[in-house]
Amino acid sequence: MDNLFNPETIFGIIGMAVTLAMPYLYAAIGELFDQTAGCYNLGTEGIMMMGAFSAFYVVYETGNLGFGVLAAAIVGLLMGLIMAVISVTFKAEQGISGIGLTMFGVGLSSLLFKTLLNGTVLSVKGFKSIRIPILGDIPYIGDAFFNHNIMVYVAYLLIPIASIILYKTTLGLKIRAVGQNPQAADTLGVSVNKIRYLCVCGGAILAGIAGATFSIANINMFQEKMTNGTGYIAVALVYFSGWKPWRVLLGALLFSFVNALQLRMQVLGINIPSDIAMMMPYLLTIVTLIFVKSRDKPAALAVPYERSEN
């Protein structure tokens, strides 16, 4: 156990957690906007897979990482539009349509992978780490926090940005109102559908980028189903957060930290059965979910809005 408690190891674990949390942050902040507006998008996983593939493919063909992120965002937007049409315009059951979208996204990304890239595992040059001047030179802390690629930094910037949008802007006020009491918002001339479209599509763009982080900002390759359930964990993180951006950060870091910790413990030969180790992050998530009790749960979550109710 001693070899676990030296600063190098601990900050090594933290640094890895910081990277591992990146896709969760993009996907969960996107889902946070969806859910705050009262929509529940279980299609995140599928959107992420499509984002992962399109970003990879574009970077593989053009070598331009910016285009890759853009492609993931556009594909995310399109998938979001599908979700919005189904759940907002047609008012379909959101859980089922989300799962449908996930199956669609995962299936289509595999199909494209086979047709466009022959199903061959290839790699690209992804985003390079940037050491932030001065801060990056602080011993241990610099490596753990300030030596990552740009996509990681942006992921963390999303937290204050989301917080400002939700709590400091008129748009955020409308979003919160629409998720809590769409009727009230409607009577004040807020277009419930417009806000929900915006949030579902915006959330899907972030989910697309979350997928891109797998294929061009971390592992830098594409393989079928490579997001491996991250989208669902992101949905759980939103519940965990009690619909607060800062707590999304906390949840994502905690989850990633436990993951990084258990890998490190395995490497250090600290004897815990690997299956137990793997369960730790999920167990932790479930246990915390039991204790989440929030007045901020959007009261109209997953409830389609229809004006004609008396």
**Residue 25 C-beta-side C-alpha neighbours within 13 Å:** 25
Judged by CB, which is closer to other proteins: 69, or 216? Answer: 216
DSSP for 104-154, written as a single string: HHHHHHHHHHHHHHTT---B---PPEEEPTTGGGSTTHHHHHSEEEHHHHH
Residue 115 binding other proteins, by CB under 8 A: no
Alpha carbon of 168 to those of 128, 135, 161, 256: distances in Å?
34, 29, 10, 29
The token pair at 183 is 């009727």
Residue 133 binding other proteins, by CB under 8 A: no
**Binding segment for other proteins among 70-78, 178-186, 201-209, 284-292 (CB under 8 A)?**
178-186
**Binding segment for other proteins among 62-70, 72-80, 84-92, 246-254 (CB under 8 A)?**
84-92
How many chain residues interact with other proteins (CB under 8 A)? Answer: 72
Residue 260 binding other proteins, by CB under 8 A: yes
Judged by CB, which is closer to other proteins: 134, or 290? Answer: 290
Q: Nearest to residue 228, comparing CAs of 245, 210, 209?
A: 210
Residue 195 binding other proteins, by CB under 8 A: no
Residue 225 binding other proteins, by CB under 8 A: yes
Q: E strand or H helix at 195, and its extent? A: helix 192-216
The token pair at 121 is 């595992």
Contacting other proteins within 197-216 (CB under 8 A): 214
The token pair at 118 is 């022959």
DSSP for 80-117, written as a single string: HHHHHIIIIIS---HHHHHHHHHHHHHHHHHHHHHHHH
**Binding segment for other proteins among 63-71, 181-189, 199-207, 233-241 (CB under 8 A)?**
181-189
CA distance 310 to 291: 36
**Binding segment for other proteins among 53-61, 149-157, 167-175, 200-208 (CB under 8 A)?**
167-175
Query: At closest approach, how far in Å is the CB of 132 from other proteins?
Result: 20
Judged by CB, which is closer to other proteins: 139, or 295? Answer: 295
Residue 163 binding other proteins, by CB under 8 A: no
**Packing angle between helix 150-168 and helix 7-36, nearest 10 degrees?**
40
Query: At closest approach, how far in Å is the CB of 16 from other proteins?
Result: 6
Judged by CB, which is closer to other proteins: 54, or 97? Answer: 97
